[in-house]
Amino acid sequence: MPPFPSRPLSLAAAFLCLAALPALAAGEAEAPKGATVTVLKATKACFPAIVEVYGIVRARDENFVRPERPGLKVIEILAEPGDTVTAGQTLARLLLPEGGSLVGQAPVAGLIGRSSAVIGALASPRGEALFSIIARNEFDLIGIVPTRDIGKLKVNQTARIRVIGAPEVDGKVTRVAPTIQPDSQLGQVTLAVTGTQRLLVNSSGRALIKTSQSCGVAVPLTAVLYGTAGTVVQVVKRARVETKQVEVGLMYGGQVEIRDGLAEGDMVVARAGAILREGDPVRAVTASEAK
């Protein structure tokens, strides 16, 4: 039997086979084989513009209970700080110098904030008040804001207020000071607590006031890189990294507003990093695919 096939390849067929080899190699070299990166679509979202106010809780209207004449002695105490009282309710009984007694009554309904009444102690109209009453259990947050924010605040804007030791409550702006303190460059704002939650006078609080909102393209904060070259976002197009210079706006809930440089639907690298460079080949996967 002959060592070669009886029908050998033609010279032309052999030449074609040899010519195809470098073409296949070149095609394989062109296919991107970079790192796997998680991507997500840039979407539209609305961002609230928030002004933060830090302040102290005060009684909106505080009334004081004192006797109308001097020389009276406290003989009975019928209310304590923290009690809720009604208008006209008896708070204490006082002994007259000539005998007999009279009562100290609450001038308004509300919450007793403080009391100096002690059995056997003397009370007078010029001394320390026997009781202080927070009228109608109403509180204000007296806060301060920087100059850059004072102009954004207006009466009747709503707020969420968090006071130490109490649940979050609703509030609204009732007064914005017309002047700024020259030394601190801070302005004063008063917020009424509109909830019924009992608060501690002089406790510190923080209010968040929504002054406006802006709607636009949004990406996670992790997708934005800040550096000497500016603020950038990395996107994936045709399996390669592209770096886009962007202008950022408001931030809220772990998202950042992109005002310029990015379009809705762009595939953004979810966690941008300096390890990725312009033109790098990558294999993009979504968050669900990466699990």
Q: What is the mean pLDDT of residues 83-108?
A: 95
Q: What amino acid occupies position 24?
A: L
Q: What would the pLDDT profile of 18-46 be if each residue is shown by its tens digit?
A: 444 444 444 444 545 678 999 999 999 99
Backbone angles phi and psi of 282, in degrees to 5: -145, 160
Q: What topology does CATH give the domain 50-58+137-213?
A: Elongation Factor Tu (Ef-tu); domain 3 (2.40.30)
Instruction: Measure the CA–CA gap between 74 and 92, rounded to whole angstroms.
Output: 7
Helix-, strand-, coil-residue percentages of the chain, each rounded to 5: 10, 50, 40
Higher pLDDT, 8 or 228: 228
Q: What is the mean pLDDT of residues 120-148?
A: 94
Q: What is the mean pLDDT of residues 235-263?
A: 94
Question: Phi-psi bin for 253: left (phi > 0), alpha (psi -120 to 50), beta?
Answer: left
Q: Which CATH architecture has domain 62-134?
A: Beta Barrel (2.40)
Q: What topology does CATH give the domain 35-47+216-290?
A: 2.40.420
Closest of 47, 254, 49, 52 to residue 161, by C-alpha: 52
DSSP state of 11: H
Output the average pLDDT for the chain: 88
Residue ranges of domains in the chain:
35-47+216-290, 50-58+137-213, 62-134
Domains 50-58+137-213 and 62-134 share a fold: no
Instruction: Measure the CA–CA gap between 82 and 117, rounded to whole angstroms.
Output: 14
Q: What would the pLDDT profile of 62-83 be if each residue is shown by its tens digit?
A: 999 999 999 899 999 999 999 9
Cβ contacts of 143 within 8 Å, gap of 6 or more: 53, 54, 55, 56, 188, 189, 190, 191, 205, 207
Higher pLDDT, 220 or 25: 220
Tell me the C-alpha to C-alpha distance, in Å, between residue 32 and each of 20, 35, 177. Answer: 21, 9, 62
Tokens 């009984």, residue? 93
In this prediction, what percent of the chain has a pLDDT beyond 70? 88
Tell me the C-alpha to C-alpha distance, in Å, between residue 21 and each of 27, 30, 33, 151, 285. Answer: 10, 15, 20, 72, 32
